[in-house]
């Protein structure tokens, strides 16, 4: 029995109040959510679906409504929400601000923040998507709305964060700064999470690297073979370092475009310029992606650029403005979670820094940035990051009762860098 079948069987047969499913990047999490929702409604249950952002809610609605046009779906939203095109395209979706409007609808879906405003009403089932991104205090606010729940998420991605830095709850099993799943498992230690074992997104070249660095004890494999995924260019490259980096990425799935070592401010002008030039060059050379889904050109909509900080994102967007690459998605790791592209370009979080803080060492950040692609990932950064890491071992305080988290961000960073060093292309001087 496959993992998905086991999960579906649990939904209707197990007596547990919670079912947890861990999913590595691109392992079919959304597909599972859609199947579980249809499985439950087919069995006559009504259910609520919780996602973390409006974007995620709309994505899920699109998939669910498309998979089952006969299923009536309610989309609970805030007053200032404007239905996106992909939601409005489905006639079986009703958007409203109050849950009363959905009494006849078996599926009601909203962001966790919206669910938290409800003071009454209860559903026999909930599906919580991206549950590792949700903070425990949010789960506390919505847990009264459902009897049983399926939690689905990726434990390797970014932990939920807080704008305040308080240690007073460290070690408490209900620490509100922890993720919803961490707190749920702490109070229900008998629950054993299911694990989806195959990544359908990551190519063979990336699955092993990402699994080793970020999922050391819960490894997964690529669902496709190396021969199935191929990236080629319509035009030959010239002699420059940009083209060498692109060729390396097309050949091996990875490229490390290395600028000379230097301490810089966060919006390192040279790095920003390099990443913009690489993106533009990628478009100019007319990349074509061949995969199990067939062959298609890699347009601006199939490329993403990721960075750690918002000001870096702004700087890169400004650098692309007015060029053919303007339409490319540029965003922070937080916003790229759950997204998928053919090729990604990443500004390394530690590039040009003098220190390595917990923020920059967080393994989830690098994991998100290096696991969005179906074909190739090009990382841009300055030389000297391994030395920087060696000078800044993690010094986070250790608290009693707080489970040690794997992987360690420092080690994960080293592991990825060690791999990237084999695909190094030095910038032209």
Partner 1 sequence: MSTLTALARIEAARTGSAQPLATVRHCHLGEQPLVLIPLKLSGEAAAPLAAMVGTARKDPALLVVAQPRNRDLRFGFAAELAALVLSYVESRQAGTETVPTKDGEGRQRYSDAPQVLVPNPGGITFLRLLGRSTRFRRIDGPYPVEASVPLLGRWLTWLCDRAEQPGSSVLMPMTSMLAGHWATGQSTFEDANLGALLGWLDPPEGMTGPQAALRAEDPLLCPPAGPTTDPGFDNEELAPLLAAYDRAPADQARMAATDRLRRALRRQLEPTWELMWRSIELLRALPEGAHVTGRWEGDRESFTHFAEGVPEGFPQAKRDSAVAAARRLIRLERAQDELDVQRALDDPLVMAEHRLTGEAFAGIVVAAQPDRLDTTGKTPKLRPYLQVRTSDPLRVADGDTVHNAGRKGQKALVVDVNAGTVLLELSSGMGRKRVAEPGSVPEVGDRVCFTTFAADFHRSPVLPPLEQTPWTHGGPPEAYVPGDDEAVAYPPTAADALEVWE
Shortest Cβ 136–partner 1 spacing (Å): 7
Which parts of 108-127 interact with partner 1 (CB under 8 A)? 116-119
Residues 175, 407: contact at Cβ < 8 Å?
no
Exactly one of 31, 218, 314, 394 binds partner 1 (CB under 8 A); which one? 314
Closest alpha carbon to 27 in 207, 274, 265: 207
What is the token pair recorded at 157? 């991605």
- Tokens 């997204």 identify what position? 339
266 binds partner 1 (CB under 8 A): yes
Q: Which of residues 146-175 bind partner 1 (CB under 8 A)?
A: 162-164, 166, 168-169, 172-175
Residue among 166 and 227 whose Cβ is closer to partner 1? 166
The single-letter DSSP state of residue 261 is P
Taking CB under 8 A as the rule, which mask of x and - marks residues 11-40 in contact with partner 1? ------xx----------------------
**Given 10, 16, 68, 137, the residue binding partner 1 (CB under 8 A):** 137
Q: Restricting to residues 280-299, which ones interact with partner 1 according to CB under 8 A?
A: none
Spatial strand order of the sheet with 230-233 comes to: 230-233, 287-291, 294-297
Distance from C-alpha of 257 to C-alpha of 276, rounded to nearest angstrom: 12
C-alpha of 163 from chain center: 21
Residue with smaller CB distance to partner 1, 51 or 213 = 51
Segment interacting with partner 1, rule: CB under 8 A, options 25-33, 59-67, 135-143, 405-413: 135-143
Q: How many residues bind partner 1 (CB under 8 A)?
A: 37
Beta strand segments in 203-360, E: 221-222, 230-233, 254-259, 287-291, 294-297, 303-307, 329-332, 341-347
Is omega for the bond preceding 407 within 30 degrees of 0, making it cis? yes
- Closest by CA to 421, choosing from 390, 379, 393, is 379
Q: Cβ closer to partner 1: 311 or 387?
A: 311
Rg value, the chain, Cα = 22
141 binds partner 1 (CB under 8 A): yes
Calpha distance 123→238 (Å, rounded): 61
Q: Is 180 in the site for partner 1 (CB under 8 A)?
A: yes
Provide, rounded to whole angstroms, the least separation between the CB of residue 24 and partner 1: 24
Compare residues 310 and 422 and give the one whose CB is closer to partner 1: 310
Q: Is 311 in the site for partner 1 (CB under 8 A)?
A: yes
């Amino acid at each position: 029995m496959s993992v998905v079948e086991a999960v579906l069987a649990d939904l209707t047969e197990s007596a547990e109040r919670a079912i947890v499913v861990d999913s590595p990047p691109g392992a079919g999490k959304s597909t599972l959510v859609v199947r579980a929702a249809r499985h439950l409604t087919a069995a006559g249950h009504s259910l609520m679906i919780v996602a973390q952002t409006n974007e995620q809610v709309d994505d899920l609605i699109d998939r669910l409504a498309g998979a089952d046009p006969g299923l009536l779906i309610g989309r609970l939203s805030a007053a200032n929400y404007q239905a996106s095109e992909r939601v409005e395209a489905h006639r079986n979706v009703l958007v409203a601000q109050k849950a009363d409007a959905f009494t006849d609808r078996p599926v009601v879906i909203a962001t966790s923040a919206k669910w938290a405003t409800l003071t009454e009403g209860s559903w026999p089932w909930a599906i919580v998507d991206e549950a590792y991104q949700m903070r425990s205090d949010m789960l506390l606010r919505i847990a009264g709305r459902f009897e049983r729940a399926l939690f689905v998420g990726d434990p390797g991605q970014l932990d939920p964060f807080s704008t305040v830095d308080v240690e007073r709850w460290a070690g408490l099993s209900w620490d509100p700064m922890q993720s919803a799943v961490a707190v749920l498992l702490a109070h229900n230690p008998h629950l054993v999470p299911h694990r989806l074992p195959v990544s359908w997104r990551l190519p063979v070249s990336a699955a092993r690297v990402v699994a080793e660095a970020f999922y050391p004890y819960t490894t997964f494999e690529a669902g496709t073979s190396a021969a199935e995924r191929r990236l080629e260019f319509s035009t030959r490259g010239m002699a420059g370092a940009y083209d060498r980096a692109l060729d390396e990425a097309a050949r091996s799935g990875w490229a490390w475009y290395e600028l000379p070592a230097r301490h810089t401010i966060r919006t390192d002008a040279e790095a920003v310029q390099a990443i913009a030039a690489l993106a533009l060059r990628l478009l100019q050379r007319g990349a074509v992606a061949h995969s199990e889904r067939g062959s298609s050109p890699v347009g601006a909509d199939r490329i993403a650029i990721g960075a750690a900080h918002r000001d870096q994102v702004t700087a890169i967007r400004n650098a692309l403005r007015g060029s053919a690459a303007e339409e490319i998605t540029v965003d922070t790791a937080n916003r790229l979670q759950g997204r998928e592209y053919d090729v990604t370009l990443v500004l390394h979080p530690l590039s040009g820094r003098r220190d390595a803080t917990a923020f920059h060492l967080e393994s989830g950040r690098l994991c998100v940035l290096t696991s969005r692609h179906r074909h190739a990932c090009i990382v841009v950064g300055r030389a000297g990051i391994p030395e920087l890491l060696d000078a800044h071992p993690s010094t986070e305080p250790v608290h009693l009762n707080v489970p040690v988290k794997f992987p360690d961000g420092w080690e994960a960073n080293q592991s990825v860098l060690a791999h990237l060093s084999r695909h190094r292309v030095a910038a032209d001087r």
